[in-house]
Structure 1
Amino acid sequence: MSGGILAFFLLSLIAIAGGVFMINLQKVVHVIVALAFTFISIGGLYVLLAAEFVAFVQILIYGGAISIMMLFAIMLTKHDDEEKGNRRRLHSWLVILGIFVFFVTMFRGINGLTLGEPGTGFEMENARQIGLAIYSHYVIPFEVVGVILLVALVGAVSLAKQDDKEVNHHE
């Protein structure tokens, strides 16, 4: 077994375990940590595919920024952590059944798959090619996405502060 195959199985196991933990954990902060592990392991899978730029963006944006933004959103809002006993048990069995059906479907789909000849030259300066494309042809959409994300974050903080004022006003 080569190192690449071992790394693939390890990163895949971490990604799948993170997804399963995300579905089954009780506390919202633990769910975000499981989500961050999933994001980072998917970034590692991109490295194995020789897509270093996409891996870097995956880890930086999703593993870091999105996870931190979710943690801030959770800290700034109110939520219930009450458990639902029987409903939780049914939910767990449905999750296990869904995972089993997913794996059987994926196994049947991948089992007879032929990928053809591998491409060559894709990994040559891919970060440079993507950077040139983004900052020459797609500058305006790139900046608009940044502004929209900033407005969404400011709006979320504003709504959370408004709820806080209403709670203090009613008490």
Structure 2
Amino acid sequence: MSGTFLAFAVLSLLTIGGAVFMISFTRVVHMVISLGVTFLSIAGLFVLLEAEFVAISQVLVYSGAISILMLFGIMLTRHDAMDEGVSKANKGWLSFLIVAVFFVIIFWGIQNTPWVPAPDRSTAAQVDNATQLGTEIFTKFVIPFELTSVLLLVALVGAIILAKKEGENE
């Protein structure tokens, strides 16, 4: 068992565990923390894939900005703490069954896929993935990149407006 396989196994379990905890928890703050664990674990998987720029972007954008944006949304909107503690009766078995079926389908797909062996790293040219990714984003994908930033800004402004309207009604 290699160190890369062990790191992959741990990061995969953290990713899946964080996602399952995110849908299982009843308090919104705990959900956001679980989502942050999932985002950080995915960044670790990107490091294993030698996509360091994407991993750093994952940490900065998702683990940092999106989680903070969600926490601001929670703090700026009014909600009753009593509503968060309501338990989800008998949904545990259904959730487990759905996850188990999904796991079996994914496992079957992975086992039956004809994988092409990776090229030898000693003969492959080392490409600076940050330069290549930056060129792709700011040439072919500049409009979706800018639309995403506008969407995040609109979500933040919307949360502030909703919080302000709730404060005026009191």
**TM-score bin (small chain):** 0.7 to 0.9
Aligned to 2:93: 93
Aligned to 1:74: 74
Aligned to 1:130: 133
Partner SS state of residue 160, structure 1? helix
How many residues in Structure 1 have an aligned counterpart in Structure 2? 165
Alignment check: 8 A CA contact 1:51 1:123 kept: no
Unaligned runs of 5+ in 1: none
CA distance in 1, matches of 2:102, 2:143: 39
User: Aligned partner of 1:49: which letter?
Assistant: L
CA distance in 2, matches of 1:75, 1:15: 26
Aligned to 2:4: 4
Alignment check: 8 A CA contact 1:50 1:123 kept: no
User: Aligned partner of 2:89: which letter?
Assistant: R
Change (3 A) 1:156 1:128: same
CA distance in 1, matches of 2:65, 2:143: 21
Q: State percent identity of aligned pairs.
A: 50
Alignment check: 8 A CA contact 2:78 2:166 kept: no
For normalisation by structure 1, the TM-score amounts to 0.86
Provide Cα deviations, 1:61-113, integer angstroms capped at 9, x if missing partner.
1111001000100111123443445xx23111111111111111122221222
Change (3 A) 1:93 1:79: farther
User: Aligned partner of 1:103: which letter?
Assistant: F
Partner SS state of residue 113, structure 2? coil
User: Aligned partner of 1:16: which letter?
Assistant: I
CA RMSD, aligned part only? 2.1
Partner SS state of residue 78, structure 2? coil
CA distance in 1, matches of 2:142, 2:103: 40
Aligned to 2:167: 164
